[in-house]
Structure 1
Amino acid sequence: MRERLFLVRLFAWFSLRHLKHHRWRALAVVAGIALGAAVFTSVRIAVRASLHSFVQSMDAVTGTSDGVVVRPGGAVPETLVAPLVRLPEVETASPLITAYVEPEGRGDLPLLLIGIDPILDRPLRHWKASAARAEGKTAWLELMKNPEAILLAEAAARELAASPGETLTLSYGASRKRFRVIGVLESQGLALADGGLMGLVDIATAQEFLGRHGVVDRIDLRAGPGRLQEMEAAVRGILPPGVALDPPGETKESGTAMIEAYEVNLSILSFVSLFVGMFLVYSLVALNATSRRRELAALRSIGASRSALFRLFILEGAFLGLLGWALGIPLGTLLVHQMVRGVSATVTLLFARVRPEGMAPGLWEIGLSFLVTLGVSLLAAYQPAHQAMTVRPREVLKPETGEGGDSRAAGRLFAAGTALIAIVWPLSNLPPVSGIPLAGYLAVFILFCGFAFLSPLFLRRTGGTLAPPLRRIGGEPAFLASRYIRDSGVRVAVSVGALITAVALFTALVIMTHSFRNTVELWVRQTVAGDVFVRPRTAGANDYRDPLPQEAVAMLQAAQESWDVAPYRHFSLHYAGVPYQLEAVAFEDLLRHASFIFCRGDPTEALEQAASGRGVLVSEVFWNRTGLGPGDRFQAMVLGTLIDLPVCGVFRDYRTRGGMVYVSLDHFRHWTGDTHWSGARLFLKDPSEHSRGRIEAFRRSMLLGQGARHGLEVILGTELRREILRIFDETFAITTVLLAMALLVAGLGIATTLTVLVLERSVQLNTLRAVGADASQIRSLIVWEAVFLVSAGVFLGLLCGGVLSVILIHVINRQSFGWTFLYSVDWPTLAASVPAIFLAAVAAVVPAYRRALRQSPASLLREQP
């Protein structure tokens, strides 16, 4: 205990006083750590809040059910409820209907309408109306007796400004109905579904309003105590063909896995800011360990042990990390609201609608942020602390610079860096763990370390090689700067490593974003082709459960004189727990105007087989998620019919709610007997310079005619494609913010390093002034050093970024989301951005530039021993 107290007192006397004396450089390091910790914490809080909202919504709807009776691709007959309830193994069987409907005047705020049997559902789902009675009756009884009654969750009532006793008009397709709000559900149980934007009605009311007479979406089952397996066997024994018993949490599990993969992606990306901040801690602790060797030798001469010096500098790194973390937590609470907005919007667009609430950091997030920040700081301080242990007591008389080993150290680091880079690609291609590319992320950080290890020898070699030509270009200041960089050792290379990391990340994201956008644009033009798209309103939100009305189909068929009409039938299904979309399309009509971007299989042969009903086409996402590729057999039960066909090709597709499977519409009708349309694409047969006006006129006639009567959604192809690209841009908005943070921290690293170099060499610089160098030459020397360091960081960063982009595109995105892109480098953006980054980093010389000649040479030289 006494030894520990002495160490603390020594740390306060030796280290804290020194940091206080050089507070500006310490504050720069703390600011970098604080910014990294704030970004890391706020991103994780934002994603966890979105994930909590999704899981809470799924749990609210699932309730305590043990199984779900569904009919893949269709609705479940309501007549199944009675025989299921009579099974002795079944405690309760409750039918359920859900649909997104549109409140009048608030089409931008879809409301989740849930229809239940209030009696059968009581053991499964909990809900409570804050107005316990309505007109003298209990709320559940009023729901059953009044076909216009609805209970709104608190969030929905607040958003729609609807109070008990008021009326609310809802629309669904062609159906429009006035409901009376009989109460408000407290924020618990079922009222938490869909972030509280939900309404509860009796199932008979829902069937009448939604046009689902005699059918329900599903029947939730609860087994008797200890009779789950018996229940499953008994239920499967009475289910008709085409109806299945599924686990209750299948949708929740698949959605949770996708959001968690997104969380890991953002967490790793946000950690880069902390990783860059690690270089700042290393730089400052290394400076103190090097510049204070005489003081360390004095401590050794009066009895301090080697381990005491090691612990002293480890404590210094820990102190910087803890101070940065303490400042980062309140800063993170300021950032979290912006992060939540961006992250929840992306999660809603990509996976499922979420409305996160309760964004305060929990103990787990605070603890994780603390451990990561402290761990990064300790790791950064380890090597300088180990270097401090090498100080000998005799150095109190004549300090040793230790620079003689820099050449050997640079060579060893270069060899280690080369070895690390060599293992990056094979390591990144290891299989993911639970759908998360952990090996890929490890490979990314090994790549950063590898290129950072290359920088010391790179600086030494280029500094020596470029010194003569730089003398001709910039004179003696340029020559001296290059020679100093050559001889400066490993410590100067640390800040170059920070810049390498930031520039590499920037380069990789620019390439990835450009590749993604180019591929998506190609996909939109070729696959999402069409002049007009017609489907039921809210079809996307409701998974195309309702087909187009026959009157609308007849109207579209009558338009075939001027339009090529390509109908399709769309279903949302699951394959071994993986969600996907099955679409039966009229290949002959579609391929006259659209095409597919294949990544596996022969396109001509694959399209011919699919069009003739001898195979299916699957998207790259479906292939990566399920493993079903060319030659494998695809099986799916749809509308009571088993589709069993070989996979004949894999195409690129970037729809975000699962993979796609295409099958021939004509053959699908023959197999299932289903002749409905889920929607249709229309192509103008004779496009001309007046095509836009004709397309607009057709859309208006549709909206005013069949569209108004049957609740159709009529979208122009140009608008749909523009919306897809807008969604793409929004998904990368949060990435851009994280990238800016990493670049800012890297800029702090350059500023800190240059300032440290100036302070460390104050005697040398002022000696030059004393022997005749003027102030402009001294400042020019500092600027040339900055140019040299930044040039090295940008050059190596570009190389590192090129490798990183390949890993991101072909490994991490494939393992995380199931898709890859056509690799494409955005040369114009890089050509414009790299000089801007270069100039911004060089501008970091300003603090060092201002401090270089603040003290007169005479007074400074007089102070030296």
Structure 2
Amino acid sequence: MEKIVFLIRLWTWFSLRQLRSQYWRTLAVLLGIALGAAVFTSVRLATNASVDSFTSSMESIAGKADWTVFCPGSRVPEELVAVLNKHPAVLTASPLFTTYVRPHDSGSAPFLLIALDPILDRGLRSWKPGHAENDSSPPWLELLSEPYTLIAGKKLSSRLNLKPKDSISLEFAQRNTVFRVLNILSPEGLALAEGGDIALTDISTFQEFTGLHGVVDRIDIRLKPSACSEDVQSIRATLPPGILMERPGEARESGKLMIRSYQINLSVLSFVSLFVGMFLVFSLVALHATSRRHELAVLCSLGASSRLLFSLFLLEGAFLGAAGWIVAIPLASFMVRRLLSQVSATITHLFVRVQVDQLKLDPLEIALSFAITLLVSLLAASQPALQAMQTLPREALSRHQATGETSRPIKWFTFSGILLILMVWPLSQLPGTRGIPLSGYLATFLLFCGFSLLTPGCLRFLGSRLSTVLRNIGGQPAYLGALYVRDAGTRMAISVGALVTATALFVALVIMIHSFRGTVELWVNQSISGDLFLRPWMAEINRYKNPLPPETVNLLQDLDPAVEIIPYRRIFLTYGGIPYEFEAIDFHKFERHATLLFLKGNPDEIYANLAEIDGILISEVFSNQTGMKVGDHFRAQIAGADLDLPVLAVFRDYRTRGGTVYYSLSRFMDKTGDRTWSGARIYLKNRDQDIESAAISIKEDILRRSGEKAQALEIITGNDLRRVILRIFDETFSITTVLLLISLFVAALGITTTLTVFVLERSRQLHTLLAVGASRNQVRSMIFWEAILMVITGEAVGLCCGFFLSYLLIFVINRQSFGWTFIYSVDWTALCIAIPLILSTALLAALPSSQLVFNRPPSLVLRE
């Protein structure tokens, strides 16, 4: 204990005073660390809040259910409830409906309406009104006895300003019905689903409201404590063909599976800002380790051990990390509230619906943030600390002895960098772990390290080969600046490595986003073609559980022969816990107007095989996530039918809620007897007319002929739908852009800090130049040329690293995380504009250091 106290007292006297005397430089480093830690912490908290919201909602709805009975692609017969309740192993079996409805004529967002049997459901889910007028009567009695009543969740009541005894008109499909609000739910149990943006109603009222008589969405089962695995098999044996039974947690896990990859990728990207900030800590601690070697030698001569010197500088790194993390707390609290809405909206658009009602400060996440920030700072300080250990007592006898840099030869760094780069590709080809591309992330880290290790050789090469050329361009200051860059050693290369990392990430993301957008745009125009798209109202949010009304189907079939109707049946399912969309479509009509982006094979031959062979087409995402390839068999129970179909081809598809399986609509109808439509595409046969105007005219005609049922339809023109898809795509990457800009800003701070270090180290040399007649402009020009060479090296190496990284992102990390790849394409325009801007920004960051040398008179510095 005494040794620790002594170390802290010595560090306070030796290091803390130094940090305080150079407060503005210390603040710059703390700001860089704080930005990195704040970004990492806020992104983690925002994504965790979305995951927690989704998990909490699913668990609240599942309640105490042990099993769930459902029919993939259809609904469960209601009479099965009585059958299950008679089973000796079943404690209770309760039917359940969940669907999103919208308040009529209010323009409000939809909310989740949950329909249950208040009596059967008591043993599964807990809920109670917040303000019961009559405590003696059960809370469910009035809900059961009075039709068209509901109990609103707290968030829903606040959003719509609902109070007990108020009325609210709800719309579902072609129906509008007025409900009376009985009470407001207390925020516990089932009321926590969707953050409280829900309402409860009796199941018979729901069936009257929706017209879904005789069926339910699912039946939740709670078993008796004495039930065993044989009882579960016995229950399964009582189920009709096509009805399945699974754990309620499987739906939750499939949703979390879709979110997890996005969460991890965003966390890794946010860590880059913290990783870049590590270079700032290194620069400052390296400055103190080299500029104070005389003082260290004095300490050694007085009996200080090399371990003590190492501990002093390691403690300095720990202080910078801890202090930077403390500064990050207010920054993170500011950022997380702005990131939360954007992250949750992106997850809702891409994967599953989330309603984040509150932000929890998870102690484990806070501890993780602190631990990683501290670890990164300790790693950054370890090399200068090791350098300080090598200080010899005899150096105290020579006041102006060289700093004693003991860095390895440049060739060693170059060889190590090349070796790490060569290891990247074999490592990246290793399979991911449970959908997490760990090998891809490790390969990315090795790529950053490898190219950063190349920077010492690049700096020496430029300084040696360009010194004469630069003398002809910028005179003697440019020549001296190039020579100093040549002789600066590895410390300059470390800070250039920060710019390499940030630039590489920028280049890679620009290429990836451009490739992604270009491929998605091609996919939208070729595979999502159509002049008019029609589907039930709120079909997407309700996962296409409700088909088009028969009247609408008849109306479409009677439309003008100048249009062609392509109906489809879409069902959301899971395959081995992996979510996907099963879509049955008329391939014969589809191939005349659109085409899929097949990975291999001729489209004409593939469609010909579909006409002859009873098979399916699967998306690249579904193939990568399930391991299914061409020739394998797809086996599933859908809408009561057992399907065993060969895979005929794999195509690119960028739907965000899992993979896609395409099947023939006519064969699907024959096997299942399900002749309903989930929606339809409408194509105009005459392509010489104004397509947009003609599509709008047909839309108005359908709405007019539908009459009151028009409100049950959602009709959008093809151009509008494609614009919406691309807008969602652009919004998805807005967070990535913000994180990238922060990384570049931290890298610019690294350039400033590095140049400041070298200006202070050469204070005697620079003031000697001033004393013998050099002008301030010449000295400033020399420092500026050093900055130019540093930034050009960082950008050039970062550009090369970025192209390698873009390949990893597109063909390794995205494939293992989300299952898709893109057509590789480089946005040369964006790079040609952005690279000079990064150069200008980094050079602007060098201006403060060039002014630092003039803060003290040359005579005073030389006298010291």
TM-score, normalised on structure 2?
0.98
Question: What does 1:252-263 correspond to in 2, within 5 Å?
Answer: 252-263=252-263
Q: Distance in 1 between matches of 2:681 and 2:124?
A: 42
Question: What does 1:281-300 correspond to in 2, within 5 Å?
Answer: 281-300=281-300
User: Are 2:357 and 1:357 aligned?
Assistant: yes
Paired position in structure 2 for 1:180: 180
Shift of 1:80: 0.6
| CA deviation vs aligned residue, 1:341-391 (integer Å, no higher than 9, x gap) | 111111111111212233242211110011000000000000100000111
Q: Give the AA of the match of 1:327.
A: V
| CA deviation vs aligned residue, 1:138-179 (integer Å, no higher than 9, x gap) | 331111111111011001111111111000100011011100
Helix, strand or coil for the counterpart of 1:674? coil
RMSD of equivalent CA atoms: 1.5
Paired position in structure 1 for 2:617: 617
Shift of 1:471: 1.0
Contact 1:169 1:179 in 2 (8 A): yes
Helix, strand or coil for the counterpart of 2:441? helix
Paired position in structure 1 for 2:833: 832
Q: Distance in 1 between matches of 2:577 and 2:438?
A: 22
Helix, strand or coil for the counterpart of 1:432? coil
Bigger shift: residues 184-193 or 426-435: 426-435
Contact 1:92 1:221 in 2 (8 A): yes
Contact 2:756 2:849 in 1 (8 A): yes
Q: Give the AA of the match of 2:810.
A: I
User: Are 2:41 and 1:41 aligned?
Assistant: yes
Helix, strand or coil for the counterpart of 1:430? coil
Cα 1:134–1:665 change in 2 (3 A) is: farther
Paired position in structure 2 for 1:744: 745
Q: Distance in 2 between matches of 1:704 and 1:477?
A: 79
Contact 1:173 1:537 in 2 (8 A): yes
Shift of 1:623: 0.7
Cα 1:583–1:707 change in 2 (3 A) is: farther
Shift of 1:723: 0.6
Contact 1:414 1:457 in 2 (8 A): yes
Helix, strand or coil for the counterpart of 1:714? strand
Q: Give the AA of the match of 1:321.
A: G
Shift of 1:78: 0.3
Q: Give the AA of the match of 1:588.
A: H
Contact 2:504 2:800 in 1 (8 A): yes
Shift of 1:400: 4.3
Helix, strand or coil for the counterpart of 2:592? coil
Q: Distance in 2 between matches of 1:283 and 1:251?
A: 50
Contact 2:89 2:226 in 1 (8 A): no
Q: Distance in 1 between matches of 2:231 and 2:835?
A: 65
Contact 1:333 1:360 in 2 (8 A): no
Q: Give the AA of the match of 1:705.
A: R
| CA deviation vs aligned residue, 1:419-458 (integer Å, no higher than 9, x gap) | 1111112212222122211121121112111111111121
User: Are 2:860 and 1:849 aligned?
Assistant: no
Cα 1:216–1:260 change in 2 (3 A) is: same
Helix, strand or coil for the counterpart of 1:559? coil
Bigger shift: residues 124-133 or 386-395: 124-133
User: Are 2:208 and 1:208 aligned?
Assistant: yes
Paired position in structure 2 for 1:606: 606
Ranges in structure 1 where 5+ consecutive residues have no aligned partner: none
Q: Distance in 2 between matches of 1:570 and 1:620?
A: 18
Q: Distance in 2 between matches of 1:141 and 1:230?
A: 37
Paired position in structure 2 for 1:7: 7
Helix, strand or coil for the counterpart of 1:772? coil
Shift of 1:258: 2.0
Contact 2:258 2:658 in 1 (8 A): no
Q: Distance in 1 between matches of 2:165 and 2:469?
A: 86
Paired position in structure 2 for 1:682: 682
Shift of 1:705: 3.1
Runs of 4 or more consecutive aligned structure 1 residues displaced over 6 Å after TM superposition:
none
Paired position in structure 2 for 1:753: 754
User: Are 2:663 and 1:658 aligned?
Assistant: no
Paired position in structure 2 for 1:250: 250
Question: What does 1:441-520 correspond to in 2, within 5 Å?
Answer: 441-520=441-520
Paired position in structure 2 for 1:721: 722
User: Are 2:767 and 1:766 aligned?
Assistant: yes
Shift of 1:852: 2.2
Shift of 1:102: 1.1
Contact 2:428 2:439 in 1 (8 A): yes
Question: What does 1:41-80 correspond to in 2, within 5 Å?
Answer: 41-80=41-80
Q: Distance in 2 between matches of 1:61 and 1:226?
A: 24
Helix, strand or coil for the counterpart of 2:593? coil
Q: Give the AA of the match of 1:148.
A: Y
Shift of 1:401: 2.7
Shift of 1:228: 4.2
Q: Give the AA of the match of 2:576.
A: A
Bigger shift: residues 695-704 or 269-278: 695-704
Bigger shift: residues 594-603 or 484-493: 594-603
Bigger shift: residues 851-860 or 332-341: 851-860
Bigger shift: residues 453-462 or 516-525: 453-462
Cα 1:135–1:317 change in 2 (3 A) is: closer
Question: What does 1:305-704 correspond to in 2, within 5 Å?
Answer: 305-398=305-398, 400-401=401-402, 405-406=406-407, 408-704=408-704
Contact 1:134 1:142 in 2 (8 A): no
Q: Give the AA of the match of 2:536.
A: P
Q: How many residues align?
A: 862
Bigger shift: residues 757-766 or 164-173: 757-766
Cα 1:250–1:600 change in 2 (3 A) is: farther
Contact 1:635 1:642 in 2 (8 A): yes
Paired position in structure 2 for 1:787: 788
Helix, strand or coil for the counterpart of 2:17? helix
Contact 1:280 1:495 in 2 (8 A): yes
Contact 1:89 1:234 in 2 (8 A): no
Q: Give the AA of the match of 2:650.
A: V
Q: Give the AA of the match of 1:308.
A: L
Shift of 1:111: 1.3
Cα 1:360–1:247 change in 2 (3 A) is: closer
TM-score, normalised on structure 1?
0.98
Q: Distance in 1 between matches of 2:643 and 2:591?
A: 23
Helix, strand or coil for the counterpart of 1:675? coil
Paired position in structure 2 for 1:858: 859
Identity of aligned residues (%): 52
Q: Give the AA of the match of 1:519.
A: T
Contact 1:139 1:182 in 2 (8 A): no
Helix, strand or coil for the counterpart of 2:558? helix
| CA deviation vs aligned residue, 1:289-329 (integer Å, no higher than 9, x gap) | 11111111111111111111000100111111111011111
| CA deviation vs aligned residue, 1:17-71 (integer Å, no higher than 9, x gap) | 1111111111111110011111111110101111110000000111111111111
Paired position in structure 1 for 2:301: 301
Q: Distance in 1 between matches of 2:33 and 2:785?
A: 28
Q: Distance in 1 between matches of 2:691 and 2:346?
A: 35
Q: Distance in 1 between matches of 2:267 and 2:207?
A: 44
Contact 2:116 2:202 in 1 (8 A): yes
